[in-house]
Chains A and B, each alone.
Chain A
């Protein structure tokens, strides 16, 4: 009963999927103790942030059927909001909340304006307009270098409690120091968990059902008396706000904000790949997809490097397996998954039973 409320009645519905989710959840919860080392913890935190980011994108793409390329813009607004505020005001909690508030308002207004302006028309129109706006925003962020730090971005201090030097208790627990880095990780982790469960609540509410109806047949949804423009715009705003929060978490974790980590089109592509490969129209797809993708990004490339070195004698093949070419294989996987299993990993697992 309790569990049902937490998951909003939307269970994984596949034993293997539930197992995978459980492993991911346990791994992320205990990450600082299970996998010591800065790199592993960084991977875990990135997975947490990406789960939220991708889940919020899935709300648009998978549940409402809107293709947006401006998701990284909102992510970037969150990161820059917190980052620049901490940079200019100084490392206090006040600055964090001030930056976050400004970022949320900005995201909300932008999402509302873009939505009202272009969601009335076709999906394709919206995709093009968001692509244009997002790229203009990225350019703006790197051009206004006095304010944003340009291409180099900004490094900033975080509040005392979150700094690596801070110790909550002096003793070590299971060989891990309880320092500010750990506290930041758990801040990121629990915020991400809360946001994920919140999104799960949203998509399983009557509101979420209307969004799915719009995805399946917007004409019929309109005929049933739902104002599709209003619902689409609301979904857009909700998704933008969640992405902004994810960006703020990422900024707090990295203590750095720059165009490459938040605004670039590469990240947008990553989000798109994760949603489709993980499974559109189910938030668990976002969770599984993000975990697998980030792990692959960090560890699979090492494997590819070995393959490439092993094939060094064959010129073209060596290039094909070069670690920088891993996007090629992801792209192929992406195209195949759109054709052959549009519901992604999660859909495949659920279908098997």
Chain B
């Protein structure tokens, strides 16, 4: 009796997905908790915006990785190489175009930056395609080999950067109109961080729309849930996967440009150094979940910034503590993806 009753209910109206708000509340709670600890309001605002900017950049780099893992069960340990390559490719545009970069015009600055980002995204996207073709195809479904092979790919890519751009660090000055700070009363905010937050929000919004409002997005989400079923329904999951991999690599390249300008100094190892926070972010968020990745990136960056101010000694261990406490609460990450 009861079974027929519930099935009748299910027929008439699909139960709405329950919105999981607890992880969403973590961010404001964390920020508010930090306020009394930091003490002064302007410092708190500066720290929070710095954290958000850093979080946006980490999110841009991590989102592709988590999607690729969710969709095809491939974890690319060489993802950091795309970050470095993106940043170094940008120098090909930015260094010769110092005239536009140092000009006192927001438009010229932005167009130089836009050109650099376009080139970086193109190059890393193409590299991602090649990487997928050459490196990853033979090792589908074999985690151990994937880790080894992508790690090897990263070593080679990093060394190739040395071969092409030389072994030295490359300084990369910010465009003229994004240097310095904006003052709102007592609150000082670096201009470049605002730009980073804006770019991050645009990327997140675009991704959110593509994933939730388009057919490709629907297929990707369905693929993350159950790729065999998507294939059985007649869609070519392979092609979808290549697309996501290329997009993820291109995003890593974009993140690399932003991060390189943020640090104003490029090293070939910058990408692999970032892999640690990136991995922590995707573990916290739940492997395969873009929303979780976003929240995770913000959490990691905010905690790192607050801890860096309050207790510099433990700042770099703070990420680990954060990860452990989140995993104790939700062992599969904030937003567990059904299949894994």
Residues of A participating in the B interface, judged by any CB pair closer than 8 Å: 61, 65, 67, 117, 122-125, 127-129, 131-133, 135-136, 139-140, 143-144, 265, 269, 272, 276, 316, 319-320, 322, 324-325, 327-328, 330-332, 334-335, 338-339, 342
Give Cα A325–Cα B315 distance, bound, in whole angstroms.
34
Q: Does B75 sit at the interface, judged by CB under 8 A?
A: yes
B316 lies within 8 A of chain A by Cβ: yes
Q: Is the CB of A328 within 8 A of B159?
A: yes
Point out the residues of chain B lying under 8 angstroms from A339, CB to CB: 138, 149
- Chain A nearest CB, measured from B243 CB (Å): 22
**In the complex the two chains form, what is the Cα distance from A117 to B276 in whole Å?**
18
Given contacts A132-B279, A338-B148, contact A122 B143 (CB under 8 A): yes
Q: B61 CB to closest chain A CB, in angstroms?
A: 15
Contact of B317 among A139, A265, A320 (CB under 8 A): A139
Q: For residue A335, which residues in chain B have a CB less than 8 angstroms away from its CB? A: 135, 149, 152-153, 156
**Cross-chain contact A331 with B152 (CB below 8 angstroms):** yes
Q: In the bound complex, what is the Cα–Cα distance between A135 and B276 (angstroms)? A: 8
Total B residues in contact with A, Cβ cutoff 8 Å: 41
The 20 sampled A-B contact pairs (Cβ below 8 Å) are A117-B327, A122-B143, A128-B75, A129-B323, A131-B275, A132-B280, A132-B319, A136-B317, A316-B163, A319-B164, A324-B167, A331-B152, A331-B155, A331-B156, A334-B148, A335-B149, A335-B152, A335-B153, A338-B145, A339-B149
B contact residues around A332 at 8 Å (CB) = 156
Whether B147 and A276, one on each chain, are in contact in the complex, defined by CB atoms closer than 8 angstroms, is no
Binary A-proximity of B132-150 (CB < 8 A = 1, otherwise 0):
0001001100011111110
List residues of chain B with CB within 8 A of the CB of A327. 155, 159
Secondary structure call for the A interface: helix
Complex interface: chain A residues within 8 A of B97 (CB): none
- Bound-state CA distance A133–B320 (Å) is 7
**Are B283's CB and A129's CB within 8 A?**
yes
In the complex, how many angstroms separate the beta carbon of A155 from the nearest chain B beta carbon? 24
In the complex, the answer to whether A334 meets B313 with C-beta atoms within 8 Å is no
Within the assembled complex, what's the spacing in Å between the Cα atoms of A136 and B194?
Answer: 29
Contact A67 B144 (CB under 8 A): yes
Closest-CB distance, A266 to chain B (whole angstroms): 10
B151 within 8 Å of A by Cβ? yes
Q: How far is the CA of A327 from the CA of B163 in the complex (A)?
A: 11
Number of A-B contacts (CB under 8 A): 102
Distance in Å: Cβ of B7 to nearest Cβ of chain A: 34
A330 CB contacts on chain B under 8 angstroms = 155
Shortest CB–CB separation between residue B256 and chain A, in angstroms? 19
A147 shortest CB reach to chain B, Å: 11
- Given that A132-B323, A139-B316 are known contacts, is A276 also in contact with B162, CB under 8 Å in the complex? no
A327 to B159, CA, bound (A): 7
Across-interface contacts of A269 in B (CB, < 8 A): 151, 155
Q: Contact between A127 and B162 (Cβ–Cβ < 8 Å)?
A: no
Instruction: Tell me which residues across on chain A come within 8 A of B276, comparing CB atoms.
Output: 131-132, 135-136
Q: For the A-B complex with A124-B146, A139-B317 known, give 18 more contacts whose Cβ atoms are closer than 8 Å.
A: A67-B144, A67-B147, A117-B327, A128-B280, A132-B280, A140-B316, A144-B313, A269-B151, A272-B148, A276-B148, A319-B162, A322-B167, A325-B159, A325-B163, A327-B159, A328-B155, A328-B162, A338-B145
